Structure 1
Amino acid sequence: MPLPTDTDVSTPKYLRDKYAIVGVGETTYMRGSNMTTRALGTWALRNAAADAGIRTSDIDGMLSYSNNDSTPAPFMAGDIGARLDFYMDCIGGGSSTEALIGIAIGVMEAGLCTCVAIFRAMNGFSQVRIGGTGARSAAPIGGDMLHSRAYGWQSAGQMFSPTFMRYMYQHGTRPEQVAMVKVVHSEHASNNPKAYYKKRYTVDDVLSSRIICKPLHLLDCCVETDNATAIIVTRADRARDMRHTPALIRGIVGRCSKPRMDMHYQTGPIERVGAYYAKDILWPNAGVGPEDIDATGAYDAFTFTSMLQLEDYGFCKKGEGGEYVSSGITRLGGRRPNNTSGGHLCEGYTHGMNMVIENVRQLRHAADDSCPIGPDGKRQHTYDYREGGCRQVRAIEVTANLGWANPMTTSAMVMRRG
């Protein structure tokens, strides 16, 4: 639906549609890359610059999520021939991508730089695995982990499972409903040539896979991959001269948290996630509501994370998440498809950046699926969503990305087609 153009110079309305994502790039989603994160990162950054149609030397700002085994931004910049006027590397899990885009807008608005590249490079399978079982260990135990590991919460699944279990008990959600998140995302991935897992799964497949940490089955958990991803953000008026239809940024909420981070279950229901608070920032900032969104990218480190985010951001009422994700709404061809690339459950694990990349391509009406290329060099989308076919959402105009670091913390972003 058409969205209003705001002329009010108050914040944040003044920033709506002022900045855009103009370039996206990634490496292959793989296991056993035999490459450093430095090599992976430069690969993705060069692809993003080429996608935008700019020189790498045009990049003068760089941000990254650098936890575990990534490489700092200044090293990446030097390798691609960029000199930076501003850079920042941070930690923060799956709430990083949207928050970093918000920071990019802020530093450009402050005049610190003009074109920002954001990247994530990780050997998430072959080197530093999140559960600590890779070839190299993650950082030494410190900070919050001094508390959580005493309770056996070493991996993300172990830390999040109390939230998931309480949710199921409180609302009567059935495992077969939650399993539909994996089923739907696998259908989307089967139409994605670059997805690591392209197999279509059934509910029975999910529920018969081994238990990792109750209530999580193996197929409730994301794929671990080696990869790098990158996006480029600049002012919308500059974007008009670049290669693709820009994805205009309507609004962002960054790293919004519950009142407590360490023992979040002491403040509000344990099954309440950060999105409960973030929605009151995101939708007013963007000037739209859940009903205006054509497709979502809801963080799916686990099937539950996607469902809980969709619920607390207001796409359905609290307690109705199971019905929402199992109703067909989130399928390609449904009212509001979710994670049309297959997301973290199937395409690859990138701490949320691949889902932003996917929504940018969707807004360009240029999803990179298996549809034929026409004489004009563009894909001729068939909107046939059977296996091996199309994954472009018809007439898509507005998207939402919903990031997740943990049940306590979230970031999110709304974009529209330029």
Structure 2
Amino acid sequence: MPLSAETDTTTPRHLRDKYAIVGVGETKYSRGSGLTTRALATWAIRNAMEDAGLRPGDVDGLLSYQYGSDSTPSTFVAGDLGIRPNFFMDVHGGGSTTEALIGMAMGVIEAGMCRTVAIYRAFNGYSQVRIGGTGVRAAIPVVGDALHGRPYGWESPGQWFAPSFMRHMHDYGTTPEQVAMVKVIHSEHASNNPKALYPKRVTVEDVLSSRMICTPLHLLDCCVETDSGTCIIVTRADRARDCRHVPALIRATVGRCCKPRIDMHYQAGPISTVAAKYAREILWPNADVGPEEIDVTGSYDAFTFTTLMQLEDYGFCAKGEGGAYVSDGTMRLSGKRPNNTSGGHLCEGYTHGINMVIENVRQLRHDADDSCPVGADGKRIHTHDYREGGCRQVRDVELTANLGWANPGTGSALVMRRG
């Protein structure tokens, strides 16, 4: 007989709040870094170590991910930084990998294989290896998994995901105007983020009048492409107390949870239902909180639609009500549950999800790196004035959720709380 969440003794609730993210670091988000991925990685990891108050000898684990050989392995990066790993691994993956690697970091530390793990993502996603069917990827032969998509014109993520988006519109009456509000709200947040590649605020009309890329996606429904390096550092909560900042304690994580089929997910369950339907059954019991208790979300926004569909299937609103949820002001900085407070992939930069984890860590510290004045103690004095060019720190953040996405059939998630 299958075990329920209530009776399953393997549910890792003993890990709740036992691990924390103690350091975060980034390079600038650009469209032409002029640097190798090796240089971007070392820059981001060094920034994260400085943020945590750690030295190279304090970090003995490295995890990285790449998609189509677009990054530099951790062994090279470790040598450049003076880190001697007791554990390292470089995995293949894009979206949904960040949360999965956080779970792996917890596991290898729990197993005694290392003490502190740096997780990084470095790639020149605009100037070198681009995700769509352009640049280096255009020459990839039609073999393996590509046989399920490329012969039918599914060359890029927008084309792969569009049928799910269209079906959602058909089934639930979701309108382009509603979905465009995801971009509008994220652009408002980005306008208060000095790091954002696209800090300009846009309107619904701007989104709908931008050129069509792949029905129903306009240009401004799609994420930006950027070059960057990003890093987070995970260690035990008892060690985190010695680091520089209030730790972001890890309540629960879900990594690469899938629908019954991944390659042709539409053959197993509604095409407009995503992997979050299954991930939520792991996430909320393990975190011992529900979606109604979350203060800030970071929902993967490769496209405006991915945010809408995940928020629905993780239970932040009922199925079919995502259009209303993303367009009624709930996600704004001044709303009930702000989403992607840095501007996310649509406006800040595209990192396969790790920058939204970084942002939620800063929100939990109550120290978003916005344009608010800095006091004599070096800390920002947040005004909570959310007009353009102002504050993006949400008041009294205690719980955050990150909702990762690889495709409609695969997802990941993370719940953190202020330590």
Q: What's the CA shift for 1:65?
A: 1.0
Contact conserved, 2:66 with 2:94, CA < 8 A, in 1? Answer: no
**1:356 matched residue in structure 2:** 357
With structure 2 as the length reference, what TM-score do the two structures score? 0.96
Contact conserved, 2:27 with 2:43, CA < 8 A, in 1? Answer: yes
Contact conserved, 1:127 with 1:136, CA < 8 A, in 2? Answer: no
**2:323 matched residue in structure 1:** 322
Deviates more, 1:349-358 or 1:51-60: 51-60
Q: Following superposition, which runs of at least 4 residues in structure 1 exceed 2 angstroms of deviation?
A: 134-143
**2:94 matched residue in structure 1:** 93
**1:16 matched residue in structure 2:** 16
1:251-307 deviation digits (Å, cap 9, x = unpaired): 011100000011111111000000011000000010100011000000000000011
What is the alpha-carbon distance in structure 2 between the residues aligned to residue 356 and residue 142 of structure 1? Answer: 34
Structure 1: 5+ residue stretches without partners: 1-8
> What's the Cα RMSD here?
1.1
Q: What's the CA shift for 1:140?
A: 4.6
**2:40 matched residue in structure 1:** 40
What is the alpha-carbon distance in structure 1 between the residues aligned to residue 162 and residue 29 of structure 2? Answer: 27
Structure 2: 5+ residue stretches without partners: 1-8
Q: What's the CA shift for 1:143?
A: 2.2
SS of equivalent to 1:144: helix
Contact conserved, 1:37 with 1:123, CA < 8 A, in 2? Answer: yes
What is the alpha-carbon distance in structure 2 between the residues aligned to residue 55 and residue 141 of structure 1? Answer: 45
Contact conserved, 2:131 with 2:137, CA < 8 A, in 1? Answer: no
**2:294 matched residue in structure 1:** 293
For 1:202, give the aligned amino acid: T
What is the alpha-carbon distance in structure 2 between the residues aligned to residue 265 and residue 194 of structure 1? Answer: 38
Alignment of structure 1 residues 362-381 onto 2, 5 Å: 362-381=363-382
Alignment of structure 1 residues 218-233 onto 2, 5 Å: 218-233=219-234
Contact conserved, 1:298 with 1:339, CA < 8 A, in 2? Answer: yes
What is the alpha-carbon distance in structure 1 between the residues aligned to residue 252 and residue 222 of structure 2? Answer: 29
Structure-2 change in CA distance of 1:83 and 1:142 (3 Å):
farther
What is the alpha-carbon distance in structure 1 between the residues aligned to residue 90 and residue 143 of structure 2? Answer: 19
SS of equivalent to 1:355: helix
The percentage of counterpart residues that share the same residue type is: 74
For 1:175, give the aligned amino acid: P
For 2:90, give the aligned amino acid: D
Alignment of structure 1 residues 28-177 onto 2, 5 Å: 28-68=28-68, 69-134=70-135, 140-177=141-178
Contact conserved, 1:125 with 1:134, CA < 8 A, in 2? Answer: no
1:15-69 deviation digits (Å, cap 9, x = unpaired): 0000000000000000111111001000000000000000022111111112231
**2:250 matched residue in structure 1:** 249
With structure 1 as the length reference, what TM-score do the two structures score? 0.97
What is the alpha-carbon distance in structure 2 between the residues aligned to residue 376 and residue 247 of structure 1? Answer: 21
Q: What's the CA shift for 1:167?
A: 0.6
For 2:194, give the aligned amino acid: P
Q: What's the CA shift for 1:135?
A: 5.6
Q: What's the CA shift for 1:137?
A: 5.2
Q: What's the CA shift for 1:11?
A: 4.1
**1:306 matched residue in structure 2:** 307
For 1:59, give the aligned amino acid: V
For 2:61, give the aligned amino acid: G
For 1:190, give the aligned amino acid: S
Alignment of structure 1 residues 186-201 onto 2, 5 Å: 186-201=187-202
Contact conserved, 1:25 with 1:231, CA < 8 A, in 2? Answer: yes
Residue-pair matches, total: 410
**2:6 matched residue in structure 1:** none
Structure 2 residue 303 is matched with structure 1 residue 282? no
For 2:400, give the aligned amino acid: T
Deviates more, 1:90-99 or 1:290-299: 90-99
SS of equivalent to 1:17: coil
Deviates more, 1:20-29 or 1:138-147: 138-147
**2:3 matched residue in structure 1:** none
